[in-house]
Amino acid sequence: MTAPTAPAVPTPPPRRAVVAPLAPDRYEIRFTASAGMREKLRLAQDMLRHAVPSGDVAAVIDRALTALLEDLARKKFAATDRPRASRGAAPGSRYVAAKVRRAVWIRDSGRCAFVSREVAGATTGPLPSSITWIHMGLGARPP
């Protein structure tokens, strides 16, 4: 005979994060973190004691987000300090050169610049977007 098991205790849903303005350039950011995240924060504070002696959580998270954004930009937009020359794309290819991705990312401040026909007021022609196939010299828009 097996021993009775205790009923599973449901975990409460996570609280919504709070982002509240305190001043024009200051915000209160409050959220619930897991034990693993708390341990990562503690390790980051310890490893940054030379640069942030107080272990200020805001300074540590700011540095972490800066490093994350640089890493994501490098992966998503081929951002680099030393760009290599492109080998070009095959005719009809949908490949977007890293040089073009970097230029558009800088031009649009890292945000999507897609504008719909309704917003642009256009009634005919292709939809304007951050990167159009015609502007890249690739011919007509893909299906």
Q: Report how far residue 28's alpha carbon sits from residue 56's, in angstroms, rounded to the nearest whole number.
A: 14
Containing 132, the helix (H) or strand (E) segment is: none
Residue 55 pLDDT > 80: yes
pLDDT at 137: 47
Contact (CB, 8 A) for 62 and 25: no
Any idea what the Cα angle at residue 30 is, between residues 29 and 33, rounded to 5°?
A: 125
Q: Report the mean per-residue pLDDT for the chain.
A: 77
Asked whether the predicted pLDDT for residue 98 surpasses 80, the reply is: no
Single-letter amino acid, residue 97? A
Q: Check pLDDT > 50 for residue 128.
A: no
Q: How confident is the model at residue 74 (pLDDT cuts 50, 70, 90)?
A: confident
Position 28 scores a pLDDT of 94
* DSSP H or E run through 97: none
